[in-house]
Amino acid sequence: MTMTIEQVSEKMRDIDYAMLVTRTKGGAVAARPMSNNRDVEYDGDSWFFTEESALMVSDITADPHVNLSFQGTSGLLGMRPFFLSVSGRAALIRDKARFAEHWTSDLDRWWPQGIDTPGIVLIKVRAERLHYWDGEEEGEVPLISRLAAE
């Protein structure tokens, strides 16, 4: 049975961190942990805050193709491993109104000035491919209808 994007969203509720993978200017692959701040009403878009000076910002500017890797558990009592690989395109957003849509109070620890912090950037990753492993089951979540609607 193929999972739906709604089922993936439900499994992601307890996963706070993803590894965001970019291609560097020199062609190497770089990965770093990013918190989704439990903003997981997942519809195929992931959102992460960072600093303008972060190397990943220049990586995304040069090549917006990225990958996100999530790991958690599922099943009765969370006894089954759950993995999700999201291939997609990243966009850099510098609009305070968009910041406010995804801001949580947990972010105040890193950016005490909130959405008015100079140099803050919101990264939006739009999924183009979702591949999952849920225990012994694996598959891809169809995104064709979602992508066609855009």
Strands (E), the chain: 17-23, 29-35, 45-51, 65-74, 80-93, 120-134, 137-141
Whether the model pTM is above 0.85: yes
Residue 89 predicted with pLDDT over 50: yes
The set of long-range contacts for 146-150, using a CB threshold of 8 Å and a minimum separation of 24, is 146/5, 146/43, 146/44
Whole-number average pLDDT of the chain = 88
Q: Which domains are present in the chain?
A: 5-143 (2.30.110.10)
What integer is the mean pLDDT of 67-74? Answer: 90
CA distance 146 to 44: 9
Per-residue pLDDT tens for 6-41?
888 888 887 889 999 999 988 899 999 998 766 567
